[in-house]
Amino acid sequence: MKRPRLSLPLVLTMPVDVILKIAFSIPNAADFFAFLESLHPYGVLGPLEHLYQLSLTQRQSELWPNLKIYSMALKQERRTHYEIIAKYYPKVMLDDILNVQWVKKLDIQKIVLALYNQCVDIDDWIHLPVTEFSWISFFDFTKTWTRVLPQFNHLTTLKVSTRDGYVFNEVCAFAAKSERLIHLEINYGFERVTSLAAQSLIEWFHRPVQFFSFAGPGWSGIDDNDLKQEFYRAMFNCPTLQTLKLHRCSLKDLNLSQLDFSIKSLLVQRCHVNRLFLKSLTERFGNIQNIVSWFARLYFDGSTKWWFVSFTATFAALVDETLILVRRHDPKFRVDPAGPLAGTLPIIIIGISSTFLIQSGSGQVCKGYTKQPDDL
């Protein structure tokens, strides 16, 4: 009697390009590599076999959903695997890779490049599809790298950590003239922003930009108050800005009444403010109809004049008319349920470094807890 023919699982009869499409549609790294593991014994992975071999020695997070190639991981026995698999990713992250000629062999669609090495010749990268570039160094012995920024024709994201005034001013000047740069992150150490740099950033905010992050004392060094207020307006009122992050900045003279808060997400961390800032901010947010939630942390810095504040705010369409008000034991910070804030905010959550109560519009106590400075 003729023995019945056993049929192979359907996936084992599929062309390699179909298996590739299935694999690259799996978003979760654990599921992705479980898929490779299940097919590996049958020898049907094609170029995915190289990714499977990399997974035996590399972290899954470095291979999926994005490919990250670190200089320390670029050993000779792994290079062939990277060379074959890299072209299948929509973008590849290169971390301090100095061998540009080898990178050219990868046939990468988009490059996310991070450099820390002062000796690298950045000119070698300008003909590659670098869309995101990070320069991370607080000791800029090589300052001329900024002059080639305009030659990165695909650059949309720039992240810079520097303490050098020349480098900072050049980066801001580049941003002001760039037609593609929509994402800018700057860590300027403890240096102060000059009027020239502020003017460049104002010009950049007038473009359809989406993301800005700044760490440093910032614009406290700008003596021209009119220019400073113009900078604030340009930054906070930029109609296309999705996310704004400020860290260690001075906001002591910020005029909240001139701000529209059209930003989708606002994050402020340990910024220097005056003592009435949080109260003014609460009142200012009370006139905004599209705020979903915000969380603030305020702590006293030991002086009698200034406070530091950290908060996040998320803006979207008004989805809930429920009003949550905050009452602190200090009368200065109490919110009158019958006052101008009533009926305007869907959700407010404020944390202050002392015991406070969160009350609903009906006056019922919902929650109370303590925030200490150590929690910040």
SS3 of the chain: the string is CCCCCCCCCHHHHCCHHHHHHHHCCCCCHHHHHHHHHHHHHHCCCCCHHHHHHHHCCCCHHHCCCCEEEEHHHCCHHHHHHHHHHHHHCCCEEEECCCCHHHHHCCCCCCEEEEECCCCCCHHHHCCCCEEEEEEECCCCCCCHHHHHHHHCCCCCEEEEECCCHHHHHHHHHHHHHCCCCCEEEEECCCCECCHHHHHHHHHHHCCCCCEEEEECCEHHHCCCHHHHHHHHHHHHCCCCCCEEEEECCECCCCCHHHCCCCCCEEEEEEEEEECCHHHHHHHHHCCCCCEEEEEEEEEECCCCCEEEEEEEEEECCCCCCCCEEEEECCHHHCCCCCCCCCCCCCCCEEEECCCEEEEECCCCEEEEECCCHHHC
Which whole number is the average pLDDT over 149-163? 93
Label residue 190 by pLDDT band (50, 70, 90). Answer: confident
Length of the chain: 376
- Mean pLDDT taken over the chain: 75
Instruction: Give tens-digit pLDDT for 305-362.
Output: 445 555 555 544 322 222 223 333 333 334 444 444 333 333 333 333 222 222 222 2
Which whole number is the average pLDDT over 133-144? 71
Question: Is residue 108 predicted with pLDDT exceeding 50?
Answer: yes
pLDDT at 346: 30
Instruction: Give residue 27's Cα distance to chain centre.
Output: 21
Q: pTM score, two decimals? A: 0.77
pLDDT at 180: 97
Task: Give 31's contacts (C-beta < 8 A, 6+ positions apart).
Answer: none
pLDDT at 27: 94
pLDDT at 362: 28
Query: Any idea which architecture 65-312 has in CATH?
Result: Alpha-Beta Horseshoe (3.80)
Label residue 297 by pLDDT band (50, 70, 90). Answer: low
pLDDT at 192: 85
Q: Do 131 and 111 meet the contact criterion of CB atoms below 8 Å apart?
A: yes
Instruction: Give tens-digit pLDDT for 241-265.
Output: 999 999 888 888 887 777 877 777 8
Label residue 23 by pLDDT band (50, 70, 90). Answer: very high
Instruction: Give residue 350's Cα distance to chain centre.
Output: 23
The span from the CA of 82 to the CA of 51, in Å, is 8
Label residue 276 by pLDDT band (50, 70, 90). Answer: low
Higher pLDDT, 292 or 80: 80
Question: Is residue 118 predicted with pLDDT exceeding 90?
Answer: no
Domain residue spans of the chain: 9-64, 65-312
Label residue 203 by pLDDT band (50, 70, 90). Answer: very high
The span from the CA of 170 to the CA of 164, in Å, is 10
pLDDT at 159: 96
pLDDT at 124: 84
Higher pLDDT, 130 or 259: 130
Q: Do 308 and 333 meet the contact criterion of CB atoms below 8 Å apart?
A: no
pLDDT at 5: 45
Percent of the chain with pLDDT over 90: 43
Higher pLDDT, 133 or 344: 133
Q: What is the rounded radius of gyration, in angstroms, for the C-alpha atoms of the chain?
A: 26
Instruction: Give tens-digit pLDDT for 40-62.
Output: 999 999 999 999 999 999 999 99
